[in-house]
Amino acid sequence: MAEDWSPSSWRIKPIAQDVKYTDKQHLARVTDQIKHLPPLVTPAEIERLRYHLSRVESGQGFILHAGDCAESFEACTHRNITNKIGLILSFSLVLLWGARVPIVRIGRIAGQYAKPRSSSTEVVDGKTVLSFRGDNVNGISPDDREPDPQRMLSAYFYSTTTLNYVRALLTSDFASLHHPRTWSLKHVRSPTLKCEFENITNALSDALAFTQTVGAIGGVDEGGYVQGGGRGVLGEVDFYSSHEGLMLDFEEAMTRFLPIPAGTLSHTDAKKPLPPKTYYNTSAHFLWIGDRTRQLTHAHVEYFRGIRNPIGIKVGPSMKDDELARLLDIVNPDKEHGKVTLITRYGAGKVETHLPGHIAAIRACGHPVIWVCDPMHGNTHTSSTGYKTRHFSSIITEVTSTLALHAKENSRLGGVSLEFTGELNEQGFSVTECLGGSMQLGEEELELRYQSYCDPRLNFEQALDLAFLLSDHYKQ
């Protein structure tokens, strides 16, 4: 357990991206209420993810981290959640088919409500207002920008209801790899994509019929860790929840001192014995530190160093090589396997400048990490029509150069971190937020169905385009 640490030790540190509440008593009442509410996830599930991540680290798996930039309370509907899970399952199936390694699925879901912003204010209709910081802080409407602590409690309940439905979906026939047509094909409009996807599902049905006889299902092996009767954490396939650990008042309230489940393996090379109990963040299986809140001496790093959950760290172009090594010394002093995932997000054209130095720094300090590529956050621009967007080709360029550089440096890409959505409008059309892809979405089309509250997301077709590209890369 981390020394001189407590769930609230971050409070005496400087903090970036802070939210200023005017009514501190109201804030205290809300966080106190949250402290008494049940956990969303359990230590056994968190340990199981750690085990799977340690496998990815040693080359036996690939992470698909994906979902919305920001979830919204309004979008918490039956249809949206079903479509999100359907797309994550479809994407992971295509990947599994090409890469032939277990896919660890981690959704940006059931708690991804808070956003860091480059500026604390913005101008809307000529008026300067506080920036929108996510539904658990303030409202998207410019008249509703005062941070309201009550929203944190709402976020807890929206997360709970989302996760409850995700668990239900994944333990029902919906998620069964035995009939993926229920969660996929009805959304695929492009005949080429449909045909490619059908080929995979047909071949998969044959393969499953065979492997079922041998007793291995689900796409992720059980590894003999926590008994799950052959089932993944949230059902027949493994699925984990995640969000950026930005709102430390909330994260602290969800941090609980709980027994480490019997049978949990020590993930250090020295096999250091585990204490009987430790601190788990019970709001999500996986949490990450954003690129704007990873200052070594600040509050977020302080909070993250004390929790047992596996964590992600966003690594952008401003990360210095030695800073990366020092950050790892702080958050993972015992060099535990499966603990830290580095999510690089440099931007297309910048990978060559930054990634080799970061790989060398990691090698020199001997920290075990998983490398994940986020090709979204370094590739945002404003369209000539005024929309915050990303071009599919920049996303592909960043993924391709990241793959090539890892290969060149004798390293390994262990996953991708994406913003995509299976959201459809009433007529069944996908969102129009990113440019390009096989549907060749143009600037003039962005306004048609631009629904994101924050960053632009790949739509169903564009996400599958990317899945096939990745899958093909691994097949060769």
**Residues 31, 99, 116, 412: which binds ligand PEP (CB under 6 A)?**
116
Residue corresponding to tokens 């600040």: 298
What is the amino acid identity at position 436? G
Separation of alpha carbons 302 and 372, rounded Å: 23
- Cα gap 161→242, rounded to integer Å: 15
221, amino acid identity: D
Task: Locate 301 and state its tokens.
Answer: 């790093």
Residue 291 interacting with ligand PEP (CB under 6 A): yes
What does residue 292 show for φ and ψ, rounded to 5 degrees? Answer: -95, -5
In angstroms, give the least distance from the CB of 343 to ligand PEP.
7
Binding range to ligand PEP, per CB under 6 A, among 3-11, 85-93, 160-168, 286-294: 286-294
Between 69 and 85, name the residue whose CB sits nearer to Mn ion: 69
Check if the beta carbon of residue 94 is closer than 8 Å to that of residue 468. yes
Closest residue to bound ligand PEP by CB: 290
- Note whether 2 binds ligand PEP by CB under 6 A: no
292's CB contacts (< 8 A; 6+ apart) are 16, 17, 116, 118
According to the annotation, is 314 in a ligand binding site? Answer: yes
The least CB distance from residue 114 to ligand PEP, in Å, is: 10
Residue from 46, 64, 66, 69 in contact with ligand PEP (CB under 6 A): 69
Select from 129-137, 167-175, 267-275, 288-296 the region that touches ligand PEP (CB under 6 A).
288-296
Long-range contacts of 23-28 (CB under 8 A, 24+ apart): 23/149, 26/149, 26/150, 27/149, 27/249
Q: Which residues 105-164 are close enough to bind Mn ion by CB under 5 A? A: none
Give the separation between CA 85 and CA 135, rounded to whole angstroms: 21
Q: What would the x/- binding string for ligand PEP be over residues 15 to 54, using CB under 6 A?
A: ----------------------------------------
Minimum distance of ligand PEP from residue 84's CB (angstroms): 16
Residues in the chain: 476
Between helix 460-475 and helix 392-408 the angle, nearest 10°, is 20
Phi, psi of 379 (to 5 degrees): -130, 40
**398 interacts with ligand PEP by CB under 6 A:** no
- Asked whether position 437 contacts ligand PEP by CB under 6 A, the answer is no
| 108 annotated ligand binder | yes
CA 54 to centroid of chain Cα atoms: 17
Q: State the binding partner of 290 from ligand PEP, Mn ion, none, CB within 5 to 8 A by kind.
A: ligand PEP
| Minimum separation from the CB atom of position 342 to ligand PEP (A) | 11
Closest by Cα among 250, 244, 282, 243 to 19: 250
At closest approach, how far in Å is the CB of 290 from ligand PEP? 3
Closest contact distance (angstroms) between CB of 115 and ligand PEP is 7
Q: Tokens at residue 44, please?
A: 């056994």
Closer residue to ligand PEP in complex, CB, 133/187: 133
Is 69 annotated among the ligand-binding residues? yes
Q: What is Dmax (Cα atoms) for the chain?
A: 66
Q: Does the footprint of Mn ion cover residue 69 (CB under 5 A)? A: yes
Q: Is 358 annotated as a binding residue?
A: no
Least distance to ligand PEP, CB of residue 404, Å? 22
Contact segment (CB under 5 A) with Mn ion among 63-71, 94-102, 150-158, 231-239 equals: 63-71
User: What sections of 182-291 are H helices per DSSP?
Assistant: 191-214, 248-253
Nearer to ligand PEP, 292 or 449 (CB): 292
- In 3D space, the residue among 294, 397, 381 whose CA is nearest the CA of residue 342 turns out to be 294
Could you say which of 43, 180, 290, 306 contacts ligand PEP (CB under 6 A)? 290
Within positions 329 to 368, which residues make up the interface with ligand PEP, using CB under 6 A? Answer: 345
> What residues form DSSP beta bridges with 388?
382
Question: What is the residue type of 275?
Answer: P
Is 455 a binding residue for Mn ion by CB under 5 A? The answer is: yes
CA-CA distance, 440 to 398, in Å (whole number)?
19
Applying CB under 6 A, the residues found at the interface with ligand PEP are 69, 116, 290-292, 314, 345, 377
Annotated binding site for phosphoenolpyruvate: 108, 314, 345
Annotated binding site: 69, 108, 314, 345, 377, 419, 455
Annotated binding site for Mn(2+): 69, 377, 419, 455
Applying CB under 5 A, the residues found at the interface with Mn ion are 69, 455
